[in-house]
């Protein structure tokens, strides 16, 4: 038997040895998870002994994390955008930068009533559930091409008690109705990034990450098709598309949107990188 403090030291040094970026945080999160303690209780109980059962569980989790299984896959759930999300190999681990896309989406919905929102490529359901949590009056639909991701997103909707309609679809195929706001964090990395991906990123599905030579093989057809599903006159938002992209290709997609007659603006993430594109049409979109 060893104390919590001893486990913390041991796990941190093991994680540092294998090159984890935040060894101390990872060690603390695993201890909190196994011992069911919050930050303060963990700190105040550092001399407490860990039971044999807890020690066995900790050993297994420390081995898994040292083997570069993502922390989010080892914990029961993660907090993201105000909701709790279970995360596993079925879908992309929701990223912190996407919380800013959620913020931009909620900003776009400000002052609206009963908006209709579509999240294309929902993964764990992060954006759709974050929007529904903040805006209970919104009718939120979420799609994904992956049935596995949709199953996880549905589990997450149940976990949070939120009512979102999930539909399996390749982009907008089979989607009926029109939407005031469409959000999407599509796969956007150039295929060549696969060679340099961190070990943890290899636990995300390739389908969620890579999109052709320039990373736009999903976003480009999405942009081409979006007008047909954006709301016409009478929309409370005016028919807006908000996309998360890679700083290497967001300006390209915005320029392509302008050639289609749209207004397009590149917006920075919190680190100042050109990550988001806001697309709207100056006149109400016509159904095609
Ligand atoms: C980068 S992940 C984003 C997941 C989630 N929205 C998030 O922000 O955490 C992209 C998602 O798009 C889905 N996807 C890829 N191609 C698609 C397509 N053609 N139509 C619909 N979804 C697609 C993937 O399965 C994946 O779940």
Q: Let me know whether 106 and 8 are in one domain.
A: no
201 and 104 co-located in one domain: yes
Output the CA 27–ligand 1 centroid distance in Å. Answer: 30
Assess whether 46 and 136 both reside in one domain.
no
Unique residue bearing structure tokens 């979006």:
226
What are the φ and ψ backbone dihedral angles of 128, each rounded to 5 degrees? -60, -45
Q: Is the CB of residue 198 less than 8 Å from the CB of residue 257?
A: no
Q: Mean pLDDT, the chain, as a whole number?
A: 94
pLDDT band at 1 (very low <50, low <70, confident <90, very high): low
Residue range 254-263, pLDDT digits in tens: 999 999 999 9
Question: For atom 14 of ligand 1, which residue has the closest CA?
Answer: 121
On whether both 13 and 148 belong to a single domain, the answer is no
Distances from the Cα of 254 to the Cα of 112, 250, 265, 274, 279, angstroms: 25, 6, 7, 11, 8
Pairing of strands 263-268, 78-80: unpaired
Is 198 in the same domain as 263? yes
58 and 198 together in one domain: no
Distance 175 CA to ligand 1 centre (A): 16
**What 3-state class would DSSP assign to 278?**
strand
Strand partners, 266: 277
Q: Is 151 in the same domain as 260?
A: yes
Which domain does 134 fall in, by range? 82-280
Three-class secondary structure of residue 19 per DSSP: coil
Flag whether 138 is in a domain.
yes
Residue 288: predicted pLDDT: 47
- Going by pLDDT thresholds of 50, 70 and 90, the confidence category of residue 281 is confident
pLDDT of 265 over the 70 cut: yes
Pocket residue to mutate for ligand 1, from 93, 124, 128, 145, most atoms within 8 A of Cβ = 145
Mean pLDDT of 15-32: 97
Q: In the chain, pLDDT over 70 holds for what percent of residues?
A: 95
Q: Which has more pLDDT, 238 or 172?
A: 172
Residue 80: band (very low, low, confident or very high) from pLDDT cuts 50, 70, 90:
very high
């Amino acid at each position: 038997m060893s104390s919590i403090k001893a486990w913390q030291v041991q796990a941190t040094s093991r994680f540092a040895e294998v090159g984890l970026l935040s060894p101390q945080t990872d060690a603390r999160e695993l201890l909190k998870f196994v011992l069911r303690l919050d930050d303060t209780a963990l700190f105040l109980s550092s001399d407490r002994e860990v039971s044999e059962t807890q020690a066995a569980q900790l050993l297994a989790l420390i081995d898994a994390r040292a083997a570069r299984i993502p922390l989010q896959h080892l914990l029961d759930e993660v907090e993201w955008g105000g909701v709790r999300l279970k995360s596993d190999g079925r879908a992309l681990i929701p990223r912190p930068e996407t919380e800013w896309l959620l913020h931009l989406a909620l900003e776009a919905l400000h002052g609206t009533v009963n908006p209709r929102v579509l999240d294309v490529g929902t993964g764990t359901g992060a954006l759709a559930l974050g929007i529904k949590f903040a805006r209970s009056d919104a009718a939120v639909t979420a799609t994904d091409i992956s049935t596995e991701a949709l199953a996880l997103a549905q589990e997450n909707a149940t976990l949070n008690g939120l009512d979102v309609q999930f539909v399996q679809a390749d982009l907008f195929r089979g989607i009926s109705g029109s939407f005031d706001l469409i959000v999407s964090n599509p796969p956007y990395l150039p295929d060549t990034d696969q060679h340099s991906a961190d070990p943890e990123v290899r636990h995300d599905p390739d389908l969620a990450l890579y999109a052709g030579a320039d990373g736009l093989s999903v976003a480009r057809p999405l942009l081409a098709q979006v007008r047909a599903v954006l709301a016409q006159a009478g929309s409370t938002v005016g028919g807006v598309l908000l996309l998360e992209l890679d700083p290497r290709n967001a300006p390209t997609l915005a320029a392509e949107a302008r050639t289609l007659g749209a207004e397009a603006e590149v917006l920075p993430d919190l680190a100042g990188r050109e990550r988001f594109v806001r697309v709207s049409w100056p006149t109400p979109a016509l159904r095609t």
